Amino acid sequence: MMNSQVQAGSRSALLVVPNPILRPSRDSLVRLNRPGSWPGNRRKVGMGKVFAVIWDRSVSKKTGDNVITVKAKATVKVTVGGELTNVGLGRGVGDLLEVLGKSVRLELVSEELDPQTGLEKPTMKGYLHRKIGLNGLDVVEYEGEFKVSPSFGAVGAVLVRNEHHKEMYFESIVLNGFDQGPIQITCNSWVHARSDNPEDRVFFSDKSYLPPVTPAGLKKLREKELETLRGNGQGERKDFERIYDYDKYNDLGNPDDADTARPVLGGKDHPYPRRCRTGRPMTRTDPLSESRLKILVDSPYVPRDEAFSELKQAQFGLKTLKSVLHALIPGVEAFVEDKNMGFDFFTDIDLLFKHGVKFHKTDGEGSVLNSLLLPRLVKKAVDGGSDVLQFEMPSIMDRDKFSWMRDEEFARQTIAGINPYCIELVKEFPFVSTLDPKIYGPTESAITKEIIEREIKGVMTVEEAVAQKKLFVLDYHDILMPYVNKVRALEGTTLYASRTVFFLTHLGTLQPVAIELVRPRSETEDAWRKVFTQGIDHTTAWLWKLAKCHVAAHDSGMHQLVSHWLRTHCCTEPYVIAANRQLSAMHPIYRLLQPHFRYTMEINALARQSLINADGIIESCFSPMKYSIELSSYAYDLTWRFDKEALPADLIKRGLAEEDPTAEHGVKLVIEDYPFANDGLLIWSAIKQWVTDYVSYYYSNPGSVQSDTELQAFWEEVRTKGHEDKKDEPWWPVLKTNDDLIQVLSTIVWVVSGHHAAVNFGQYPYGGYFPNRPTITRNNLPVENESCAEFKRFLEKPETTLLSSFPSQLQATKVMTILDVLSSHSPEEEYLGGQVEPEWALVPEIRAAFEKFSGRMKEIEGIIDQRNTDLELRNRTGAGVVPYELLKPFSEPGVTGKGVPTSISI
């Protein structure tokens, strides 16, 4: 029989338990430990023939208030390798903690201060018990009860302690029993084991607060959590940590090996956005570069909650991509005897889709053949018991096998393909370079007025074409020129600077007019440049095809390195870091942005590991090769401006649109049938309206944007730390009004959703048949030297010259494989407007605004479908034309060529 002695008003209770073996029975201990019985910390003290259990309570003496019974339920996801894996199978201490009810401790934090002391009220502590075993379920529930005095006030946060020796993934915590109804706490986060970090994990309720109106009892906790997330900038980061900090891109190469040494990106010499700091050791030869020894085995550190979910890892993302990079591609490389071997005939390229590519089966951990989680292109071959990599026919070839050769398709893809971000209106003619003529040659282009007027059949003069906004250009001259000689010095590739001019016809389609390819003077050669046109004889017609091949390779590089990697993935990472460092998890703007940042840091870390690193996929398969990421730094320095990243601003900057307050979206398009812009403006306007509704609710008072200290710190840090190399630029927006904030947030949301979708998910549909978008050209044009043997071979067999310019068999196979994976949607993809966040649903006005936004996304689906059946819109429909669906909001899993996810998740 137990006897308890409790001193009135004391903070502890002594329970004396007689027991011949000097400890309480398990049943007694479990019964005594029921949540709510004695909330607080318990410690055991041996006292002769009794065993004393002392509770240190965190509640004041009884005040006469009616006690409320609050039931707590935590939903914990069963994860591979997490604490709940294989529960009960001889795990020892973990199971004992569950039996004793001491595995998960919860503390309730009041929103109010103690009126007597002016300090935070003592928390209410208790343990939660596991309610449901695994039994095939993917979640486990923990439950407990708290006896709470009404004077405790509303609960604004909880502290969670995980006493297990492994991390646990908490989905949500619900507190029931309060008069105001259930308190929902959305977690969706890992809770570290106490053995890794003794600090308890804090979760705030789903109610959002601007800093000035933060409940008094939560202010210090709000500040402390942000301090934890910022860290101290010291030491190597550990996997379980949630610390966000900045660093330069100093881990792409290996300075200890001359062949793979790469410059540090970020700073005066190579301006660049910042990435997440990992704190790994530096290399021997360069104290500014991080060693890649660990990165070869494990992915670089990202804060724990930024990692892919296990479903995404398992069914698609990280695990699949790693299998391709570390097993499949090495298997293909091992099979190919001649790494430089090209394709002898176009029929050989067709065999990639009909019969596939043989590769060596690999064994061991990470083997693509031993994995049940395979990319679609490999699974077919594995199911058939074959060692063949089988590619699916891309949609562009499935509809029209010869479309890649047509000039009209070459032009159409500049506004309805995978890179609609580079074409510009010709505002001045002739073209003039800004580069130093002493180094790079004449500043004026070789494309003359006479050439253009001849090619457009004299329908108007060049002056008239410029005035009427009929001339457009892909101008890669100045951005590529400084790298031409560097790239040409590398083995197995070449490069030119280029300009490609297009004319807008009376049908609203683009006609390619002329291509200029330029090579500056080098130590061994004089400068060379030539203008190519369609021609009316065989030789000029084949040279035109070769020139288009080079331009397509330039466009592929600019797409991958600038439009895709730099402007979406790379420039977004500082927003993610700054938001987590400066915006509390209870800040409404954090809760608006957080779904749009999901998984971005993880995919960027993987890119640094295997895609954009020295000798990675990009360097080995794209024409700038070892200068690829350095080129993206050059582009960042020359062209990137945050205030021009919003879609309307980008279109206006390129001359593709004009401001027009009477137009539907505030701009009038210069090319009326511009599929990317037409569909993109629908998405942009919907985003801006949703953001406007959201911001207007939380910032209803004049001056509230300017007085929001967390918001101002976030935006200041984006500018001064995340994009430090551009911090002094005058174009940075200043957050003073609601309109300023709406424009900034809409821009960020557009970049991570619509912009990224437009340049990512069509990569395999448009680039899977690589003659349509070669990523590299390996040979110089034969007319550079008409006395050489290459020119003679070109005259005898021009098709062979074209084929030899394409990527090698190994390069093509690697690119096609990667593009297939990167173009795929995960089964758990979250699409723009598809799912309301719990925190948004809590506020009726915000829920209604989101439902309006969601409904608009569904309307846009129908509008795009209707546009793709309108034969008058020749840039998106017609015989053999692939409909423009890249900005259709929703998609099925897999490679579909459509779908706008909420975030950059691949």
From 423, 618, 671, 906, active-site residue:
906
List all residues 6 or more positions away from 563 whose beta carbon is below 8 Å from its beta carbon.
419, 421, 422, 759
Taking a C-beta distance cutoff of 8 angstroms, is the pair 203, 189 a contact? yes
Q: For position 57, what pLDDT does the model report?
A: 35
Would you say residue 622 has pLDDT above 70? yes
Would you say residue 382 has pLDDT above 60? no
Would you say residue 734 has pLDDT above 90? yes
Q: How much of the chain, in percent, has pLDDT values that exceed 90?
A: 75
Q: For position 374, what pLDDT does the model report?
A: 53
- In 3D space, the residue among 898, 905, 745, 899 whose CA is nearest the CA of residue 834 turns out to be 899
Location of structure tokens 């592929």: 556
Q: Do domains 68-223 and 400-558 have the same CATH topology?
A: no
From 164, 192, 569, 723, active-site residue:
569
From 760, 772, 780, 875, active-site residue:
760
pLDDT in tens, 534-549: 988 999 999 999 999 9
Q: What is the mean pLDDT of the segment spanning 565-577?
A: 98
pLDDT in tens, 316-352: 455 566 667 766 777 777 767 788 899 999 999 999 8
pLDDT in tens, 439-496: 999 999 999 999 999 999 999 999 999 999 999 999 999 999 999 999 999 999 999 9
Taking a C-beta distance cutoff of 8 angstroms, is the pair 39, 124 a contact? yes
- In 3D space, the residue among 500, 598, 600, 489 whose CA is nearest the CA of residue 558 turns out to be 500
pLDDT in tens, 96-113: 555 556 889 999 999 999
Q: Which of 121-135, 150-164, 698-712 has the lowest mean pLDDT?
A: 121-135
Structure tokens at 54: 């002392």
Question: Using H for helix, E for strand and C for coil, what is the string for 835-882?
Answer: CCCHHHHCCHHHHHHHHHHHHHHHHHHHHHHHHCCCCCCCCCCCCCCC
State the Cα–Cα distance between residues 680 and 876, nearest whole angstrom: 14
Report which of residues 367 and 175 the model is more confident about.
Answer: 175
For 135, left (φ over 0), alpha (ψ -120 to 50), or beta? left
| Apex 322 CA angle, 319 and 326, nearest 5 | 145
- What does each C-alpha distance from 366 to 300, 327, 331, 363, 615 come to in angstroms? 18, 6, 12, 8, 21
Location of structure tokens 């492994």: 166
Q: What is the mean pLDDT of the segment spanning 726-735?
A: 98
Taking a C-beta distance cutoff of 8 angstroms, is the pair 905, 757 a contact? no
pLDDT in tens, 795-833: 999 999 999 999 999 999 999 989 998 999 988 899 999
User: Any catalytic annotation for residue 760?
Assistant: yes
Q: H helices of 561-703, where?
A: 571-582, 588-593, 600-610, 617-621, 628-639, 647-653, 675-698
- What does each C-alpha distance from 127 to 122, 161, 221 come to in angstroms? 16, 9, 21
Q: For position 797, what pLDDT does the model report?
A: 96
State the Cα–Cα distance between residues 193 and 199, nearest whole angstrom: 10
Location of structure tokens 């499949």: 328
Beta strands at 497-504 and 471-475: parallel, antiparallel or unpaired: antiparallel
List all residues 6 or more positions away from 321 whose beta carbon is below 8 Å from its beta carbon.
606, 610, 821, 822
Location of structure tokens 């695990």: 319
State the Cα–Cα distance between residues 613 and 393, nearest whole angstrom: 29
User: Any catalytic annotation for residue 564?
Assistant: yes
When pLDDT is cut at 50, 70 and 90, the band that residue 6 belongs to is very low
Complete edge-to-edge strand list for the sheet that includes strand 424-425: 424-425, 471-475, 497-504, 510-519, 528-532
Taking a C-beta distance cutoff of 8 angstroms, is the pair 372, 320 a contact? no
Q: 649 pairs with which residues across the strands?
A: none
Q: H helices of 3-113, where?
A: 26-32, 93-100
C-beta neighbour count of 366 within 10 angstroms: 14
pLDDT in tens, 281-295: 999 999 999 998 877
Helix, coil or strand: residue 470: coil
Q: Which of 320-334, 546-560, 734-748, 749-763 has the lowest mean pLDDT?
A: 320-334
Residue ranges per domain, the chain? 68-223, 400-558
From 564, 596, 665, 755, active-site residue:
564
When pLDDT is cut at 50, 70 and 90, the band that residue 514 belongs to is very high
Q: For position 376, what pLDDT does the model report?
A: 66
- In 3D space, the residue among 643, 866, 605 whose CA is nearest the CA of residue 734 turns out to be 643
State the Cα–Cα distance between residues 464 and 168, nearest whole angstrom: 68
User: Any catalytic annotation for residue 569?
Assistant: yes
Would you say residue 405 has pLDDT above 50? yes
Taking a C-beta distance cutoff of 8 angstroms, is the pair 733, 643 a contact? yes
Q: b/e for 180-195, b at 16 or more Cβ within 10 A?
A: eeebbbbbbbbbbbbe
Structure tokens at 617: 């996929």
- Rg of the chain (C-alpha set): 31
State the Cα–Cα distance between residues 617 and 442, nearest whole angstrom: 35
Q: 57 pairs with which residues across the strands?
A: 40
For residue 488, the one-letter residue type is R
Would you say residue 8 has pLDDT above 80? no
Q: What is the mean pLDDT of the segment spanning 195-213?
A: 96
For 670, left (φ over 0), alpha (ψ -120 to 50), or beta? alpha
Of 3.10.450.60, 3.90.920.10, 3.30.465.10, 3.40.50.970, the CATH number of 400-558 is 3.10.450.60
Would you say residue 20 has pLDDT above 50? no
Structure tokens at 88: 């009960």
Q: Give CB contacts under 8 A, 24+ apart, made by 225-234.
A: 225/584, 225/585, 226/581, 226/582, 226/584, 228/199, 229/303, 229/580, 229/581, 230/581, 233/277, 234/279
Would you say residue 877 has pLDDT above 50? yes
Would you say residue 39 has pLDDT above 60? no
Instruction: Tell me the pLDDT of the chain averaged across its residues.
Output: 87
Ranges of beta strands (E only) in 368-479 are 388-389, 424-425, 471-475
State the Cα–Cα distance between residues 806 and 344, nearest whole angstrom: 11
Q: For position 389, what pLDDT does the model report?
A: 78
Query: How many residues does the structure list for the chain?
Result: 906
From 756, 846, 864, 904, active-site residue:
756
- What does each C-alpha distance from 301 to 246, 537, 696, 759 come to in angstroms? 12, 58, 37, 27
Structure tokens at 36: 């709510």
* CATH T-level fold of 68-223: Lipoxygenase-1 (2.60.60)
Would you say residue 47 has pLDDT above 60? no
Would you say residue 370 has pLDDT above 50? no
Q: 142 pairs with which residues across the strands?
A: 74, 130
State the Cα–Cα distance between residues 337 and 318, nearest whole angstrom: 29
User: Any catalytic annotation for residue 536?
Assistant: no
When pLDDT is cut at 50, 70 and 90, the band that residue 354 belongs to is confident
Report which of residues 94 and 31 the model is more confident about.
Answer: 94
State the Cα–Cα distance between residues 128 and 145, nearest whole angstrom: 8
Q: For position 85, what pLDDT does the model report?
A: 53
430 cis-preceded (ω within 30 degrees of 0): yes
Taking a C-beta distance cutoff of 8 angstroms, is the pair 149, 59 a contact? yes
